Structures are given as C-alpha cells and as structure tokens.
C-alpha cells in the first residue's frame, strides 16, 4: 500500500520529526509512505511572514539556517512523491496526533474522550539509534530548550540547574545568558535528538522536545507559554504527568516520576495500535510490536534464544521479562556500538535450519533395551545412551535441562552420569539458559566433546551464536510442541504448595511408576500427589497452546526444517505400525539429520530395539506446522493477575472430565488402559473403582 502525505513545512523540527516518525512506523507495517516537502512557496512575502510566525522571532539568518537543516533532514529520511491511494487521513491524524496533515489542519479529538498521542511515542528507542553519537558525556547535564521568553523562564532554569547540581546545556530560539552553560546556537534535528537522549534532565516549552523527553523516559519540566501547550496539557494529563507542567515559575519545583506514569503510556500505545488495525485491516498486531532491539524483528517473532544477547561484544543487550513471563531482548543504546552482529546472527534474520546432505534425513523408531532406563525417561530412554557415550567414551560433557531447588527449569552442564540423571524426563516449561552458550564455546575451544540437548530454537540459537561448525559438538534437538510460560508454571506450583501447605521438593511431568503415565508432585511434608497428565489443567492449557510463547505460532523449526544432528521425540503412532510394542512403555521417534547423527546411532545401536520408519510415519501425532494463536490465549493472560491460577486454567480445560493432583489414603490411583476407569491400588494389593473428580 502507498500512502501520500502532504507536509506544508519542512522548516520546523515539529513537522519533520513527526513526518519521519510516521514514515518509520508505517514502514514497519508494510505501508509505503510518500511525503511532499515543498522547497518554496509561490508568494515570497507570505513565505517570509509565515516563517516569522512559526519561529516566533524576526531573525532572517536563523530562519534560513533552520530551514536548511530541516530540509536536509527531510531529504535524507523522507521521500518526495505525489501519488495518493485511498486512506482516511483524518482517522490517522486522530490516532497519532498532529502527524499526517498540514500544521494548520489538526483534527480535534472527539468530545467523548479527548486524548493526544504522538507518533514519536509509538517508536522504540532503537528507532532513534541512527541519530545518536557513540561518545557519552563525562558528566550528567540538564538540557533546556526554550522557544518563547516570559514568565522568568531563564531564571527558573538557572534555579533548577543549581538545585539538581548538574551541568547545563541549552539551545532554542531565544538566547539567554546563563552562567557556566554550553550553548548550541543551531541544532540539526539529529543533534536535538542526541542532546535530549544523553541528558539527565530536560526543561522546555517546546512540544517536540517534550515528546522526545517522554519517549526517552527523561525527568522533565514543561514551562507554560510555548506553542501547542494545549496539546501538551492534554498529553500530560492522560499520562498522569500533569504535575510536571509548570504554570507559574514562582511555585516550588516538583517533578513527578515513577513507573505508573509510563504504565499508562504503555496502555495508550496498545490502544493506538488497535486503532491502526482498524485503519489498515491488512496488517497484524505483531507487526506493530517491534522489539527494542537492533535485530529489527517483532515481539511475536522472537524465540528468546539468547543468541543476540550472548554474542554482543559490549553486553548491551539484556533479557527482560514481560507480563506473560517470557524474556525478550532490549538494547542499552549507551553501550551499543552498532556493530550489527546481533542482527546478523538472529535466527529470524537468517536461515537457521540444516541443509540436508544426500541421503538425509532418515527416520527410525527405537527404545532402550533396558526397561529401567525407559522407566526413568519420558519416552524410549535414548537420551541416557547418548549421554553415556559422550561422558564415558568421549570424556565430554552433556548439556540438558534440570529443575533447581525452587523447581525452576534451568539448563546446566553435567560432567558425570550421576549429574545427567537430573536431565531425564520432559519439562513442559521454558527453561532458563542464560550464560550457557559462552560456557559451551569455551569448552569447545578447549577441545572438550559437548553433547547439547535443547529445543529446536535453542539449538538454532547455539549454532548461530558459535558461527562455525565444531567437530566436537553434537546437537540433540528435542521435538517441541510449544513453549509454556515460566510465570504460569510458577503460579501453578505456588497454588499446589498453598493447597498442601508444604513446599514442593520434586515433580515429574510423566512419571512411569504406574502403568499409566501421570504428573507426580512430592512435598516436603511427605505428601505425594498425582494427576493424569493428559487431563490436568496445566497440561491442557499447554497442550492447547493457551500459555505458550507467541513465537511458537510462527515457528520455522517444524517437519523437515531440523537443526540437530538427531531429533528425538515420542513415536505416538507406534501401535498403528508396530503392535508388538504394546506395553513397552516408551518408544522414541528419531530423525537422523546428519552424518554425525548417523555415526552416533551406529555407536549405540546394539543397545536399541529399533525399526526403520518413513518420514511421514515419524510425524504421526507430531505437528508438521506451527499452530495459530487462539483468542483464548489472550483471555488467559489477560486474567492471569485477576483470577486464581487453577480456577483460571480450569475454565479453559477442554475436557469434560478433568483431574487435579490428588492423593488417596488407601493407595495409588491409576487408570485402567482398557476401560479408562480410575482404579485404586490399596496397600494390601486390592483394587476398587473410584469416580473421577
């Protein structure tokens, strides 16, 4: 779609910066924006008087300088074309403030609910990065920018500077004489952005400077008497920052700060983006949600693989948890040196799955011959054989996921088979693996053999982070359904602990102590409770993609897009093709994706019961493409802080018969394979029927 926008003024910061921000935002959602920026007006007399009106002073030299700077900025960052396609400009103006129309045609907010929103506030900090200098100021400073004199503004600025004990830098269309202050007479738009970003405090009567200060989350004061102060008052009122509007410079200095104000700003951002969806129905909401990260991807695309964070040479990227409990990268612009490495290795920005060599992939189904190994594993017990080969034969290490003392899933490195046992069994929750990639690289560089097991996106992140192949690295990719929220998992465990009045010390998602696999929870006070995992409220929410990471709906590591040398998963279709496996209690589907994987299977083949299968058979019961996000997912996370977790998950359990963890005074509850009825094995070995809860 092409959108034509006429901007009457290229001589003022307000117009050109809003035009640039508008183009930046709309380009992110696939709208090509063409701006017309006239270099002259037909009537030179009117042009001259109009300049004076805009700048608020009769300074021809200043007018020409600012005109040149802003015109150069416009030419560099905006296009100049004259073609329009049907878009309701008034709607866009209403959504984003005074952006897409001439300055004298501001659409007024409606009478029911007035609000003003600037396109600058819809952008992420990273969008401004190109305008920032890498040199940081040695000492914190206060930046003041005044457009109009009056109300003793310079005296007020001096008072704040002394109170805050900061250095002082200033600019603007008036030139007061401050003591010990650094003055820049003509600022380009780039310099204006840079000065505000690096400042510690901002004082202004300019709307555009104020909007930038808010966008950069600076402490600020706005002095009454500037242009568009009506819009400023409206904007500060809705953000909960109206106390920062100074009507009288004789009043005591007060600056309102706090996260609550910016929480309101975040809510307004969501609201504005929803309105943009109404104007441009062909776009999706995730296109509007860019990460504050130089990888230049949307939030819904981010796997959280940590490759960008770990590869950053300046530690400029950190992972921050959102309200759903998932981690996303955010960049510290002060540390970033614009090397572009994070964008280069991002597994969304490059093809991260394997290029198959001739003869691959192959598929087999297999189980460990030892029943005890199968019993301790969620599936066929193949992983223990791989780990044993890595540690005993290769004198290497194994990387896997275990529960820590707080039952948080974490990635760790095991040196012995005793340590490896903590990795056994499925963990249906997103693990924490911060710092693992650099440790793996160090081991590889030392010549140690490393067997890495993880989800496909994590395996892809590791390979991308390493940026070269290592002969001593073997990657085992775990077939993934989706990635549940650690926050939801923790809330569910807290619910169980509160219910049993004891701390959880151990849990198993697919315990095989009994004929039917169940979730098993062991408490500090000795209580042991179980639940049918396929009917449990938490598991159903995970299975139905109601608590999963948004990127799972856009996952590219499905079907024949593999990452590991081997891919391990459950062979759900085993009885359909091989009835003789009935009662075997665990069979793996294995994809052999590389020569290295083929060699590994040959090393452990004597310990396997195995059959060759087709690629299609391997995916019986395993999804071949990413699922779509359901509306119910939004509902679940929307209620997460309002409804008790078990009550919430139970509302969305799609089964008529639902089970929660429970214990039996008479023995252990199991499910009969044939009838599906619950049976209780008493301490004396007797059985009796028991109804479902």
| Residue-wise pLDDT tens digits, 472-482 | 999 999 999 89
The H or E element spanning position 426 is: none
Please state the separation of Cα 146 from the chain's center in Å: 38
Bridge partner list, 610: 366
Residue 583 DSSP symbol = T
- The residue whose two tokens read 């600022």 is 187
Please state the separation of Cα 332 from the chain's center in Å: 15
Between CA 281 and CA 300 the distance in angstroms is 18
Cβ atoms 453, 478 nearer than 8 A: yes
Answer whether the bond into residue 361 is a cis peptide, omega within 30°: yes
Ordered alpha helix ranges (H), 501-536: none
Q: At what angle do helices 436-445 and 456-466 cross, to 10 degrees?
A: 50
Cα separation of the two ends of the chain: 56
Sign for the pseudo-dihedral over CA of 107, 112, 114, 117: negative
* Residue of 652, 639, 402 whose CA lies nearest to 545: 652
Cβ atoms 386, 476 nearer than 8 A: yes
Cβ atoms 252, 163 nearer than 8 A: no
Cβ atoms 645, 491 nearer than 8 A: yes
Between CA 668 and CA 40 the distance in angstroms is 87
Residue 329 DSSP symbol = E
* Residue of 95, 93, 82, 79 whose CA lies nearest to 24: 79
Predicted confidence at residue 566, as pLDDT, reads: 96
Quick one: 51 exposed, middle or buried, by C-beta within 10 A (0-12, 13-18, 19+)? buried
Residues 6+ apart with CB under 8 A from 110: 94
The three-state secondary structure class of 506 is strand
Residues 6+ apart with CB under 8 A from 350: 344, 464
Bridge partner list, 34: 4
Helices and strands: H and E segment counts in the chain: 23, 24
Q: How far is CA 266 from CA 97, 215, 222, 238, 676, in A?
A: 16, 11, 21, 12, 49
What are the structure tokens assigned to 275, written together? 């309105």
Cβ atoms 594, 475 nearer than 8 A: no
Cβ atoms 384, 376 nearer than 8 A: yes
Between CA 445 and CA 344 the distance in angstroms is 22
**96 — phi, psi (to 5°)?**
-115, 15
- The residue whose two tokens read 């490896």 is 420
The three-state secondary structure class of 29 is coil
Between CA 70 and CA 17 the distance in angstroms is 9
**661 — phi, psi (to 5°)?**
-55, 130
Cβ atoms 418, 626 nearer than 8 A: no
Between CA 568 and CA 217 the distance in angstroms is 47
Predicted confidence at residue 101, as pLDDT, reads: 32
What are the structure tokens assigned to 337, written together? 């040196």
409-414 and 362-368 strand pairing? unpaired
**602 — phi, psi (to 5°)?**
-65, -35
Cβ atoms 545, 632 nearer than 8 A: no
Q: At what angle do helices 89-96 and 259-279 cross, to 10 degrees?
A: 170
Low-confidence ranges of the chain (pLDDT < 70): 1-11, 32-67, 71, 79-115, 151, 258-260, 515, 583-584, 656-693
* Residue of 409, 394, 309, 455 whose CA lies nearest to 596: 394
Cβ atoms 223, 156 nearer than 8 A: yes
Angle ∠(632,635,638) on CA atoms, nearest 5: 155
* Residue of 446, 101, 452 whose CA lies nearest to 305: 452
The three-state secondary structure class of 402 is strand
Angle ∠(259,264,266) on CA atoms, nearest 5: 90
245-246 and 528-532 strand pairing? unpaired
What are the structure tokens assigned to 246, written together? 């100074």
Predicted confidence at residue 656, as pLDDT, reads: 65
| Radius of gyration from C-alpha coordinates of the chain | 31
> What's the full length of the chain, in residues?
693
Cβ atoms 457, 301 nearer than 8 A: no
Between CA 307 and CA 381 the distance in angstroms is 30
The H or E element spanning position 611 is: strand 608-612
């Amino acid at each position: 779609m092409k959108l034509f926008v006429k901007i009457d003024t290229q001589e003022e910061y307000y117009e050109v910066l809003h035009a640039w921000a508008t183009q930046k935002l709309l380009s992110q959602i696939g709208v090509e924006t063409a701006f017309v920026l006239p270099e002259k007006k037909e009537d030179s007399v009117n042009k001259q008087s109009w300049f004076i009106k805009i700048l608020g002073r009769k300074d021809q030299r200043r007018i020409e300088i600012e005109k040149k700077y802003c015109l150069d900025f416009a030419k560099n960052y905006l296009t100049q074309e004259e073609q329009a396609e049907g878009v309701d400009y008034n709607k866009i103006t209403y959504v984003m403030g005074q952006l897409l129309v001439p300055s004298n045609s501001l659409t007024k907010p409606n009478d029911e609910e007035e609000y003003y929103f600037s396109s600058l506030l819809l952008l992420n900090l990273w969008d401004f990065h190109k305008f920032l200098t890498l040199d940081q100021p040695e000492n914190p400073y206060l930046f003041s920018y005044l457009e109009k004199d009056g109300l003793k503004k310079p005296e007020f600025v001096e008072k704040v500077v002394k109170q805050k004990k900061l250095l002082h830098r200033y600019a603007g269309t008036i030139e007061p004489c401050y003591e010990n202050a650094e003055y820049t007479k003509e600022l380009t738009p780039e310099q204006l952005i840079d000065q505000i970003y690096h400042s510690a405090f901002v004082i202004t009567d300019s709307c555009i400077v104020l909007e930038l200060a808010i966008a950069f989350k600076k402490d600020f004061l706005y002095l009454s008497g500037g242009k568009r102060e009506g819009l400023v008052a409206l904007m500060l009122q809705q953000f909960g920052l109206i106390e920062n509007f100074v009507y009288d410079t004789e009043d005591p200095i007060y600056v309102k700060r706090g996260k609550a104000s910016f929480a309101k700003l975040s809510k307004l951002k969501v609201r504005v983006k929803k309105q943009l969806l109404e104007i441009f129905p062909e776009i999706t909401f995730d296109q509007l949600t860019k990460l504050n990260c130089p990888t230049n991807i949307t939030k819904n695309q981010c796997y959280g693989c940590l490759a960008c964070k770990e590869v950053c040479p300046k530690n400029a990227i950190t992972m921050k948890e959102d309200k759903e409990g998932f981690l996303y990268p955010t960049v510290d612009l002060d540390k970033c040196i614009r090397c572009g490495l994070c964008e280069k290795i991002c597994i969304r920005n490059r093809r991260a799955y394997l290029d198959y060599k001739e003869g691959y992939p192959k598929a087999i189904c297999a189980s460990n011959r030892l029943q005890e190994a199968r019993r301790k594993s969620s599936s066929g017990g193949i992983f223990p054989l791989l780990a044993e080969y890595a540690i005993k034969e290769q004198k290497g290490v194994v990387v896997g996921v275990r529960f820590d003392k707080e039952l948080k899933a974490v990635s760790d490195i095991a040196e012995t088979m005793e340590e490896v046992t903590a990795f056994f069994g499925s963990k249906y929750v997103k693990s924490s693996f911060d710092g693992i990639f650099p440790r793996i690289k160090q081991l590889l560089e030392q010549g140690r053999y490393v067997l890495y097991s993880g989800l496909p996106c994590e395996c892809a992140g590791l390979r991308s982070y390493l940026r070269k192949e290592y002969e001593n690295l073997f990657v085992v990719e775990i077939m993934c359904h989706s990635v549940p929220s650690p926050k939801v998992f923790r809330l569910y465990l807290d619910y169980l602990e509160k219910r049993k009045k004891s701390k959880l010390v151990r849990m198993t998602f697919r315990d095989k102590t009994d004929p039917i696999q169940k979730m098993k929870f062991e408490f500090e006070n000795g209580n042991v409770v179980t639940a049918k995992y396929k009917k449990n409220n938490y598991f159903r929410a995970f299975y139905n993609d109601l608590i999963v990471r948004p990127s799972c709906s856009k996952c590219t590591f499905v079907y024949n897009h593999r990452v590991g040398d081997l891919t391990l998963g459950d062979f759900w279709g085993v009885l359909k093709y091989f009835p003789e496996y009935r009662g075997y209690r665990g069979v793996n589907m294995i994809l052999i994706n590389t020569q290295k994987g083929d060699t590994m299977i040959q090393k452990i083949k004597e310990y396997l019961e195995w059959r060759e299968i087709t690629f299609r058979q391997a995916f019986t019961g395993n999804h071949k493409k990413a699922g779509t996000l359901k509306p119910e997912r939004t509902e679940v996370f929307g209620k997460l802080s309002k409804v008790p977790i078990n009550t919430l998950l139970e509302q969305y359990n799609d089964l008529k018969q639902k089970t929660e963890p429970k214990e039996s005074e008479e023995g252990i509850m199991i499910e009969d394979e044939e009838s599906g009825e619950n049976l209780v094995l008493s301490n004396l070995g007797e059985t009796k029927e028991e109804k479902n809860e």
